[in-house]
Structure 1
């Protein structure tokens, strides 16, 4: 087996390992929930990693003394806190798997700088040109 074939096999094995790892992280993310409790224990909510409401609990009767508008505001605030807790946990789970400075919570909230992830021009243009000029393709022409 030539050096290039060994390198291709190594790259494919590395790709498969990274893909398996990404699938494992995805499964763990799908299990994440975030929980928050409002002041005075008016309401306790749990949301999934996608921000879907999983559970609502009224641990005390404090909600009975609130107007519908007050209760709605407390619910919205508490749901947002629970979602932030879930996203924070996801950020810590995948910190080593995403480009530096990019977080899943920023992607999900729409605040991510996509230019950092996918720049308008790839940084390695010269390296690729050099590879094409002197690398694998040059060697194959010489072998024929």
Structure 2
């Protein structure tokens, strides 16, 4: 004989598993994000990963040859900042609806929070509930009704 709570427990466990899988998938998708920006006159093109780390820098034209060092430096810095902003925006789109309260996209990007750590491997439960899940109802174990 099953308890009226058996289906509820199974539904809750299924929901938990689904949320955990979604967190893992979100982390995978974040890892694939890049942000790219190109400076005016195509003097420089920068690409960063989801953590904002520079992964590529290109000079699509020879325009940088005619730039003063300070001007080139400013173009590089501005373009890298824009690439980072583009990556952050892409990550925010992926995560804005899925993040628990208090968790910031920037914390995920900086590696301060691991999406899989947001949900523990096993859900917390009182000992009685865990025993019920593992062993079934007391009368089903031969212990009779409590």
TM-score (norm 1): 0.68
Q: Following the alignment from structure 1 to structure 2, what is the Cα–Cα distance between the partners of residues 29 and 80?
A: 19
Shift of 1:108: 4.8
Q: How many residues get paired? A: 114
**Where does 1:6-45 land on structure 2 (aligned, <5 Å)?**
6-45=7-46
Counterpart Cα distance in 1 of 2:77 and 2:98: 31
Tell me, which stretches of 5 or more residues in structure 1 are unaligned?
A: 110-135, 137-142
Greater helix content: 1
User: Any runs of at least 4 consecutive aligned residues in structure 1 with deviations exceeding 3 A, and if so which?
Assistant: 99-103, 105-109
What CA RMSD, in Å, does the superposition of the two structures yield over aligned residues?
2.5
CA contact (8 A) 1:43 1:59 kept: yes
Q: Secondary structure at the residue paired with 2:97? A: helix
| 1:44-83 to 2 correspondences below 5 Å | 44-83=45-84
Q: Is the 8 A contact 1:35 1:82 kept in 2?
A: yes
Instruction: Give how far 1:5 is off.
Output: 3.4
TM-score by length of structure 2 reads 0.67
